[in-house]
Amino acid sequence: MLLGAHVSIAGSLAKAPVRAYEIGGETFQIFTKNQMQWCIPTLTEKTAEKFKSNVKSFNLYFGTVHASYLVNVASSNPMTRMRSINNLVVDLERTELLNMPYLVFHPGAHKDAGERKGIKLIAEAIDQIFDITSAKKTMLLLETTAGSGTNIGYKLEQLSEIIARSKFSERIGVCVDTCHIFAAGYDIRTESGIVNFMDLADKSFGLDKIKAFHLNDSLGKLGSRIDRHAEIGKGNIGTRAFEVLVNLKEFKNTPGILETPGGPERYKVNLKLLKTFRR
């Protein structure tokens, strides 16, 4: 696994790779804009060039972009839905301009519409996004969720159904967040637990659909549906899962991104720890 963390774009997008390098990352994740606002500032060709040249000069691998937290394509509200689709269209194009291969997003919350309806709406939205966007190769990754509230994506079958329903299934992948799957009820604390999970993933959508990992320990207990990230080894998952994950040969070149609390200094410590797990 290629290891990294979610880094800030404060000041300029081009600063993100520098920050990734400073904490010992081999790859990284960013937001391309403020994750809590709908507005999208322009991304100039010049900034994108600087960003890409920094990735290369610091010997990093291009990683993941995380979509806005406001996006909800499972929503039946026409306004929310339209804004969410537009936001993902633009973000997909920005992701591609930055040469990042993956845009990760949360499948969405159905509110009162029910899971069946929500899954259908998500697949339809993905089709609209790929119909509209000028991005040619960037993939959308569905992130596994903890299943809090009415969030969809806490069962692997839900993700596989979304992928199967879309006419662009080859451009959809999965980002596995360890905290979320654990809170959703997948016990990954042991090596056999990880093997089990991978087996289920392979049966539902195929292991090759997993294009990224979010490496977070969990403050919530197994099956609690509580989405609260912890530093590696400081939550209810424990270190064993991460020792196994970083060494899986199927994911040798797959980004594994920390989204743990504590900022850059703690990222540095957690990345160092993850590297000691390598055999």
Residues in the site for Zn ion, rule: CB under 5 A?
A: 143, 177, 214
**Lookup: tokens for 201:** 């993933």
Angle between helices 156-165 and 115-132 (to 10 degrees): 40
In whole angstroms, the minimum distance from the beta carbon of 30 to Zn ion comes to 13
* Residue 129 or 142 with smaller CB distance to Zn ion: 142
- Residue type at position 33: K
Nearest residue to Zn ion, scored by beta-carbon proximity? 214
CB nearer to Zn ion: pick between 33 and 214:
214
Smallest separation, CB 183 to Zn ion (Å): 11
| Number of other residues whose CB lies within 10 A of the CB of residue 230 | 18
Do 23 and 267 form a contact (C-beta atoms < 8 A)?
A: yes
Q: For Zn ion, give the closer residue by CB, 17 or 107.
A: 107
The token pair at 135 is 């991005």
- Minimal distance, residue 182 CB to Zn ion, in Å: 12
Question: Considering the complex, what minimum distance in angstroms separates the CB of residue 95 from Zn ion?
Answer: 15
Residue 157's H or E segment, with its range, is helix 156-165
Which is nearer to Zn ion, 91 or 177 (by Cβ)? 177
Taking the complex as a whole, how short is the minimal distance between the CB of residue 38 and Zn ion, in angstroms? Answer: 18
CB of 62 to Zn ion, least distance (A): 18
24 three-state secondary structure:
coil
Which residue, 64 or 166, has its beta carbon nearer to Zn ion? 64
SS3 100: coil
> Is the Cβ–Cβ distance between 122 and 108 less than 8 Å?
yes
Residue 128 to residue 124: CA distance in whole angstroms:
6
Report the candidate in 236, 175, 235 with the shortest Cα–Cα distance to residue 1.
Answer: 175
Give 93 or 177: the residue with its C-beta nearer to Zn ion.
177
Report the amino acid identity of residue 146. Answer: A
